[in-house]
Amino acid sequence: MVLPKDNLINLNPARVRNRRIKVFGLMLLSTLLATLKWISSIPTDSALPTKILMIVLFVLTFAWIALFFWSSVFGFFELWKRRKVPGIDWAEDERRLGSKIAVLMPVYNESSAEVYANLLAMAESLSQTGQGKNFDIFVLSDTTDPKVWVEEEKMWLEAKRKMPAEIDLYYRRRAKNTARKSGNIEDFCNKWGAEYDFMIVLDADSLLNGSTMVKMAQLMEVNPRTGIIQAPPMCLDGHSLFARIQQFAGKVYGPIVSAGLAYWQVGDSNYWGHNAIIRVRAFIECCGLPVLKGKAPFGGHILSHDFVEAALIRRGGWAAWLLPELKGSYEGCPPTMIDFATRDRRWCQGNLQHIKVLISKGLHPVSRIHFTIGIMSYLSSPIWLSFLLVGMAIALGRNFFPPVYFEEARTLFPVWPIFDKIGTISLFVISMFMLIFPKFLGLAVYLRNNDGAHSGGRFAALKSVLLEIVMSVLTAPIMMMFQSKFVFDILSGSDAGWSAQNRGDRGTSLREAWVRHKWHAGLGIAATVVIWFYAHALFWWMLPITLGLMFSVPLSMFLSRVRVGQFFRRHGYFIIPEENEPPLILRRARYFETLMKEAAPQYKGVELVVKDSVMNALHLMMLEVNGPAPEFDAEVADSAQIKLENYLTFGKEMDLSRNEELMLLYSPEILKTAHISMFLQD
Amino acid sequence: MAAIRVQSLDDIVSAYFKSLGFSGKNLEKAVAALLTKHRFEIETDDVIAALEEILQKNLDENFADVDLPDMSKRAWFKTAFLLLDGAEKWGVGAFTGEIADKDYAGQIKGLNLCQVPGYKVSHMAPQKIEPPHPLKVFSRIFRGFYRNKK
């Protein structure tokens, strides 16, 4: 079949259309049928506005579940039949690369040892492919912590010595981190982008096999109209119970979710911000992000830039692919529920900001669907909460305001309020089925591909899925409360800010859990008491929700513990093959991490730059590339110099504030003189 | 600025070389060689600036192809010099440019202490993200309707 000339992908547009009609048609049909049933199930004596509200909330909640369900079902068939994503030309593994690729690692106050260890492992893996010379690695720092800044410089030097000879490792830090990560990448493109054909964007905890990176570059070469290829990352190396559950869920359910998305998105896929390869020319042409009108949280710089960049690149006439076939793409997972929620707060603001972008001119309809899915993934929580509250209000109202059986106009028979209990229960069962059944589809694919030798056997996988469902039921209401609050905060104008993500295994303390969950627990207890006394019929139905909320404090602490994670591992729960037999790249990354930590300096920040000759010279060498120093108050400059003077002359602790330390680090003459004067002290 | 207490010229030059890894007899030789060749006024900062100037002159001659701003270039050289234990290997000669080992420049460059490659500038123009004007949406709907009717 001859394809239209302007076809971006190697697939008949009718086939692409058919796929979308199937998924969205079934979603709409199932939502319509369920809504009709729901309309007939609402108590007949409810007021009209209440009925309308209940119907709207039901449609939004059910449609969301239905899309997830049908997308997963099609994803399952794709995986079961072992079909590859159609429309993209698959390059041969032996193909020699002719392109130049930059691997970008944007960092923001991260653990330098881990960042460089991951890069060393990836560089080594690239070198083993024999195509390493086509790759350069850039660490693009937006770090604001002066101590981490100096550590990054030190670790750069250490890592550079350990790098394979054919791969260059570069480091650049921005003095001002305009537009956060997207601004960081844009700065790279403006300064060095023209030198490279493609860029592979990573996150601080990303790990990509060399062969995967080479395959991504080969695919870009043989598909010249492709702008982005996303390799779905798999969560790995979690130790707390929370992280282990996530990585198990990602391993078992993730493939059908990705395959489902790839099924209907085809060449109009999304970009998740990391573990993806991008055609630099297309990115430079199409992806300069504007500053949105208005103030944060809706205006200002675009936070969740990845979705917008994918939409813009698609608008510019380039294809974007999500390819579940690309294995060897990994990322870390947040170790605790609180860390997960903190990340969610940022993502929530970024996604709600897309409301402004969603209706922008010229976007591909599928890009608009991506934005809608992103927005709904957060709005669904307050919608669900409203749905529960309205349902509870109706039940309580019935208790305080009994039904009127005889209206003012005289009738022969009483007016019985009709409530279709069986209909409501059947809708509940259908909703649960649509939420849970895809998990078993994922399990079926997982068991077919894994014989269980490295994951504790088939029974272990089954019992893990069952326990994961229990855990999801308990944690879902807590996440619903978190996300509802985030949405409320954002709508009332509160900005998320930019804090570094915690990636280390530290358990949640009682104090921390209490501060973050006290309202959840309070609400859970209050709801349980009220339901018990005034809407007793709902008690058992609401228990899965109220139970999670009531015990949110101990549950959050329990899930955050590494010891608990290991306990469940010993008993055969949530084991994935990669846990028992870690991939080579992860083992190498941990090995390099040990080496890098051994090389970590005794002193930090200004003290290190003043005491250590190599670091003094290295820091001054690197300062120029940072760009012009920011301005500091005269007061800060004076006190910083006095403290340094006292340190040099009397050996007093410097005890510099963050700004004082930054000011000194931006002062080459002071640092040089201070370093030389260290030797005069001798 | 962090000031250096008034010291003798020997002390300052000696501290400067110590910061470059010189010690023991090597240090004494370096200080003596430099002081014989150059005259300094006894003003601490000036002495350091003068020493940096000597170094810069040497770098401009022997590393003309290294395209870095002056301060970065001196720092680059010092880093490499320290990492290669230049004080022991080449002594003060590497510093003043009087050196027998002709390969020393190659060794310094061979460390490949390049922080970033040379710029190849592009410009990412901000793209338009704007909702359509409501009136235009209506006119488009009606235009479409009219065409369909035709």
Q: Where in chain A are the domains?
A: 605-681
pLDDT > 90: percent of chain A? 76
Check residue A258 and give left, alpha or beta (phi > 0: left; psi -120 to 50: alpha): alpha
Question: Please, which residues bridge with residue A329 across strands?
Answer: A208
User: DSSP letter at A306?
Assistant: H
pLDDT of residue B62: 86
Nearest C-alpha neighbor of A346 from the set A334, A328, A357: A334
Helix (H, G, I), strand (E, B) or coil at A654: coil
- Residue of A495 and A103 predicted with greater confidence: A103
Q: Report whether pLDDT(B147) > 70.
A: no
CA distance A107 to chain B (A): 16
User: What are A114's two structure tokens?
Assistant: 């881990």
Q: Does A166 touch chain B (CB under 8 A)?
A: no
A408: CB partners within 8 A, 6+ apart = none
Output the CA angle A81-A82-A86, nearest 5 degrees: 105
- Cβ–Cβ contact A172 with B under 8 A: yes
* Helical axes A668-681 vs A613-623, angle rounded to 10°: 170
Which chain B residues have a beta carbon less than 8 Å from that of A617? 75-76, 78-79, 82
Q: Does B91 touch chain A (CB under 8 A)?
A: no
A265: nearest Cα among A33, A23, A31, A49: A23
Distance, in Å, from the CA atom of A196 to the CA atom of A279, rounded to the nearest integer, reads 9
Bridging pattern class, strands A198-201 and A276-279? antiparallel
As a whole number, mean pLDDT of residues A208-233 equals: 97
Contact between A82 and A205 (Cβ < 8 Å) = no
A231 membership: H or E segment, kind and range: none
> Could you give the CA distance from residue A114 to residue A159 in angstroms, rounded to a whole number?
11
Task: Please give the Cα distance from A86 to A284 (Å, whole number).
Answer: 27
Q: Is A672 on the interface with B (CB under 8 A)?
A: yes
Q: How far apart are CA A218 and CA A92, in angstroms?
A: 8
Whether A676 and chain B come into contact, CB under 8 Å, resolves to yes
Query: What does the block give as tokens for A464?
Result: 């893990």
Q: Quick one: which of B67, B97, B70 has its CA closest to A672?
A: B70
For chain A, first and last CA: distance in Å?
83
Residue whose structure tokens are 């301005």 = A631
Q: From A13, A72, A97, A86, select the one nearest A321 (Cα to Cα).
A: A86
CB atoms within 10 A of CB A144: 18
Q: CA triplet B100, B104, B109: central angle to 5 degrees?
A: 160
Lowest mean pLDDT among A139-143, A243-247, A411-415: A411-415
Q: B132: which chain A residues are within 8 Å (Cβ-Cβ)?
A: 359, 361
- What is the mean pLDDT of the segment spanning B36-42? 71
User: Could you report the per-residue pLDDT of A565-602, keeping only the tens digit for each?
Assistant: 999 999 999 999 999 899 999 999 999 999 999 998 88
Q: Across the interface, do A644 and B130 touch by the CB < 8 Å criterion?
A: no
CA–CA separation, B6 and A54 (whole Å): 83
Residue A331, both tokens? 């990322």
Confidence of residue A450 (pLDDT cuts 50, 70, 90): confident
Residue type at A515 in one-letter notation: V
The reported pLDDT for the residue numbered A310 is: 97
Asked whether the predicted pLDDT for residue A317 surpasses 70, the reply is yes
Could you tell me the pLDDT band of residue A32, with boundaries at 50, 70 and 90?
very high
> Sorting pLDDT into bands at 50, 70 and 90, what band is B150?
very low
**A302, A472 in Cβ contact below 8 A?**
no
Strand partners, B126: A288
Q: What are the pLDDT digits (tens) for A525-546?
A: 999 999 999 888 889 989 999 9
User: By three-state DSSP, how is residue A682 classified?
Assistant: coil
Weakest-pLDDT range from A367-371, A380-384, A424-428, A441-445: A424-428
Higher-confidence position of B96 and A636: A636
Averaged confidence pLDDT in chain A? 92
Residue A339 and residue A503: Cα distance in Å, rounded? Answer: 8
* Calpha distance A324→A326 (Å, rounded): 5
Which residue is listed with tokens 């770098």? B59
A 183-202 near B (Cβ less than 8 A) = 186, 189-195
In whole angstroms, give the CA distance from residue A585 to residue A656: 39
Largest CA distance in chain B: 100
Higher pLDDT, B32 or A495: B32
Give CA–CA dist A219/A91, Å, rounded. Answer: 6
Q: Does B134 touch chain A (CB under 8 A)?
A: no
- Give the pLDDT confidence of A175-197 residue by residue, as tens digits: 888 888 999 999 999 999 999 99
Most confident of A2-11, A87-96, B40-49, B94-103: A87-96
Hey, which of A320-324, A360-364, B58-62 has the most confident mean pLDDT?
A320-324
Question: Min CA distance, B102 vs chain A (Å)?
Answer: 24
How many whole angstroms separate alpha carbon B39 and alpha carbon B50? 10
Across A243-250, average pLDDT: 96
Contact A270, A370 (CB under 8 A): yes
Amino acid at position A434, single letter: M
Cβ contact A676–B122 (<8 Å): no
Quote the CA–CA distance of A522 and B74 in Å, as a whole number: 63
Q: Hey, is B104 helix, strand or coil?
A: helix
Neighboring chain A residues of B9 at a CB cutoff of 8 Å: none
**Is the pLDDT reported for residue A366 higher than 50?**
yes
Instruction: Find chain B residues with C-beta within 8 A of A284's C-beta.
Output: 122-124
**Rounded Cα gap, residues A402 and B64, in angstroms:** 94
Give mean pLDDT, residues A142-149: 95
Q: How far apart are CA A642 and CA A670, in angstroms?
A: 12
What are A180's two structure tokens? 């956060």
The residues, any chain, with a CB within 8 Å of residue A101's CB and separated by 6 or more, are A134, A135, A136, A196, A197, A198, A199, A200, A213, A217, A277
Strand order in the sheet with A168-173: A168-173, A135-141, A101-107, A198-201, A276-279, A226-230, A319-322
Query: How many C-beta atoms lie closer than 10 Å to residue A453's C-beta?
Result: 10
Phi and psi at residue A171, to the nearest 5°: -140, 130
Helix (H) or strand (E) holding A350: helix A337-358
d(CA A677, CA A557): 51
- A659 contacts A635 by C-beta, under 8 angstroms: no
Which residues 26-85 in chain B show a CB within 8 A of chain A?
45, 48, 68-69, 71-72, 74-76, 78-79, 82-83
Distance CA A574, CA A663 (A): 49
A and B: number of Cβ contacts within 8 A: 160
CB-based contact A292:A302 (threshold 8 Å)? yes
Three-class secondary structure assignment of A475-537:
HHHHHHHHHHHHHHHHHCCCCCCCCCCCCCCCCCCHHHHHHHHHHHHHHHHHHHHHHHHHCHH
Nearest of A158, A679, A621 to residue B59 by alpha carbon: A621
What pLDDT does residue B148 have? 46
For A614, the closest chain B residue by CA position comes to B79
Report whether A508 contacts A563 (CB < 8 A). no
Q: Confidence class of residue A416 from pLDDT cuts 50, 70 and 90?
A: low
pLDDT value at position B149? 44
Residue type, position A76, single letter: F
Whole-number pLDDT of residue B95: 75
Q: Which residue of B has its CA nearest to A157?
A: B113
State how far residue A191 is from chain B, nearest Cα, in angstroms. Answer: 5
Q: What values do phi and psi take at A168, rounded to 5?
A: -90, 140
Distances (CA, A) of A460 to A449, A565, A571: 15, 15, 9
